[in-house]
Structure 1
Amino acid sequence: MNKFDDNFKKRLEERKLFISDEKLNLFEIYATELKDWNSKINLTAIIDDLDIIDKHFIDSLLPLKYEAFNQGIKVADVGTGGGFPGIPLKICHPDINLTLIESIGKKVNFLNHIIDKLNLENVDIINNRAEIIGHNPKYRENYDFVVARCVARLPI
């Protein structure tokens, strides 16, 4: 195990969250790709390993503490940016059906890349604004959970 894995595992344990070494490896790949792509397209201001662990990964995983967050649920991530919190949730719960909603094309390109790189299945990406998607009956009231890190006021 390397320093990234050690730090991540320690911080997970502090919050009574536990994941397999295989999933730890996926998070390490994710962090590496995030930093690489970020140098080209500015995905996030958070680029230090410990900050990525705490502010991107651990914060994203907190919904796992809720019993209702279980297998087979449908989750939408609004304004996902670099994939937070949706992709960390998907790594830990591969059986969820995940929809990532992101309006910025260059971020969508990263999302497609990281989903392929991590071999994640049952992930849809919608390249559109949340307030547009919110009016579409195909998506409206169609999810068990809707998650977001930070979004502006949504006029829907």
Structure 2
Amino acid sequence: MSIYDEQVTLEDGTDYTLAKYAGHPLLIVNTATKCGFSPQFAGLEALYQEYKDQGLVVLGFPSDQFHQELADGQAAAEACRTTYGVTFPMHSLVSVNGDDALPLFDALKDAAPGALGKAIKWNFTKFLVDQNGNVVKRYAPKTTPDKIAPDIAKLLAN
């Protein structure tokens, strides 16, 4: 099964598969608006603005798995837009670990385990996916978006 087969839901309830983004590099992030790392939204938006015309798509997935998110995806997305100027696609509230984890995150974790194995340790874990749907790298929550820019530029140069 390809990452492009994974079904996800936008903040407004619209379902789609990631096939919509086939041929584009993706930066997939589990987010939380009440997290200490939430200032990274500004950096994620900066990456999106810098590279979107070259094909990069940043995808935000709000998660209350660590009890730092608003009640639903729409509220989280609105907070991101208002506070950080986010324009990249935001999705419905998801779980990233456990039996209720969104299958996309299970696939990402299988492809790129972290320091603690497959589990996502905290909000703002990021996964870079190449234009062919391959997970290239997993980034820790502390890794700021500007540190990911060289990897994105390298993907876009290929």
Quick check: TM above 0.5?
A: no
Q: TM-score, normalised by structure 2?
A: 0.34
Larger Rg: 1
Which protein has the bigger strand share?
Answer: 2
Higher RCO (CA-CA < 8 Å; seq separation 6+): 2
Q: TM-score, normalised by structure 1?
A: 0.34
